[in-house]
Amino acid sequence: NAGVMQNPRHLVRRRGQEARLRCSPMKGHSHVYWYRQLPEEGLKFMVYLQKENIIDESGMPKERFSAEFPKEGPSILRIQQVVRGDSAAYFCASSQGGLSTNEKLFFGSGTQLSVL
């Protein structure tokens, strides 16, 4: 019963390149959340998705960032034309139901993105 799987664990990109971060939720979970964490800070919400739908993307920059959770396959967080300020740890979490039903989140180990 694997937990939330994120890959890659570490990703190095040069400025202007694209970064693709993948997240496979826990088995049976259809709700996926992406968070970003800067060093010594808390987690900042980016986007909440259910299968094939973006529910809330209020925390995601409108330019260069996009997210999807297709019917088949993992959720993808895509950052185009990366800049140094995108360097951070990106965490994915999943839940079985919505959080308004007192669900808890299960987190992956994160992807550390470094932009050179």
Residues that bind another protein (CB under 8 A): 4, 31, 33, 35, 41-45, 48, 55-56, 59, 91, 93, 98-100, 102, 104-110
- Residue with Cβ nearer another protein (44 or 51): 44
CA distances (Å), origin 29, targets 12, 84, 95: 29, 33, 5
Nearest-approach distance from CB 9 to another protein, in angstroms: 10
- Residue with Cβ nearer another protein (79 or 110): 110
73-92 burial by CB neighbour count: b if 16+ within 10 A, else e?
Answer: ebbbbebeebeeebbbbbbb
Q: Are 67 and 34 in contact (CB under 8 A)?
A: yes
Nearest-approach distance from CB 82 to another protein, in angstroms: 21
Structure tokens at 47: 């986007």
Distance CA 47, CA 50 (A): 10
Nearest-approach distance from CB 102 to another protein, in angstroms: 5
- Residue with Cβ nearer another protein (17 or 109): 109
